[in-house]
Amino acid sequence: MLKRTYLPSDDRPIAVVIGSGFGGLAAAIRLSHKGYRVKVFEKLDKPGGRAYVHERDGYTFDAGPTIITAPFLLEELWELCGEKLETDVDLRLMDPFYRIRFDDGSHFDYTGDLKRMRDEVAKFSPADLPGYDRFLAEAEKCYQLGFKELSNVAFDSLSDLFEAFPSMVKMKAWESIYTLVARHLKNDKLRQVMSFHPLLIGGNPFSVTAVYSLINSLERKHGVFSAMGGTGSLIKGLVRLLADVGVDVQCNQEVKRI
């Protein structure tokens, strides 16, 4: 791959990215691909942001996300640089995606396989199988509207908000995900299983919007993965991509004014 070298006479526009989390690094790669000279400033001592990695006594600890639910978005970044994700990161599909344990010793194995999921639901409450199917239909609707249609909308204008309003109504965005799940499932444990995803981002299932049910469909379509070596391996890979196109992440550089 041809590496870019920035010369003092380079007259391309400059883009400044503040923060080197996943969003900042991804933005830097995309801006560089579009022809900008990119500068990335990070106030911490190393890149990562919410995906910062703590090191102590020879051990590493991920401070942020530990699973990947949309690997195709990462693959796209590597492809923009003419490379493959697997060059830097070894992603492993989890099976089951999650094992949810209850205090009575029972557990629910959450997977992307519909038959296995129906078997797990039946293990707790056979009577809830029809309700589970209805919930899946609701989750798919939220995926199509909330992810496929709206995830790339900037929402930086009133017109964006007005245009999205009908979709928000269809998804019952004013409801919580727990309310949505409880409408279709009666068993308390199943209600917990189908509404727990907001906990992964520090959210409350009783207040996070029902739109978040789209994660159910997203995971079944694309899987749940773990990066070998921890989330930090993704950050290292992204930083390496940027270095190869002449972009350095400048750490210990806090931006105080724009």
Q: Per-residue DSSP letters for 180-233? A: HHHHH---HHHHHHHH-GGGGGT--TTTSBGGGGHHHHHHHHH--EEETT-THH
Model pLDDT, residue 11? 81
Residue 235's pLDDT is 94
Could you read off the pLDDT of 193-218 as tens digits, one per residue? Answer: 999 999 988 899 999 999 999 999 99
Residue 121's region, left for phi above 0, alpha for psi from -120 to 50, else beta, is: alpha
Instruction: Quote the pLDDT of residue 4.
Output: 52
Stretches where the chain sits below pLDDT 70 are 1-9
pLDDT given at position 2: 39
pLDDT for 158? 84
For residue 43, what is the DSSP state? S
Candidates 145, 126, 138; CA nearest to 179 is 138
CATH of 14-64+229-250, one of 3.60.70.12, 3.40.50.800, 3.50.50.60, 3.40.1280.10: 3.50.50.60
pLDDT at 196: 96
- What's the pLDDT at 12? 84
- Predicted pLDDT at 234: 94
Write down the pLDDT at residue 200. Answer: 87
- At residue 153, the pLDDT reads 76
Q: Start-end ranges of CATH 3.50.50.60 in the chain?
A: 14-64+229-250
pLDDT digits (tens, 9 = 90+) for 41-51: 999 999 999 89
% pLDDT > 90, the chain: 75
Distance of alpha carbon 124 from alpha carbon 144, whole angstroms: 29
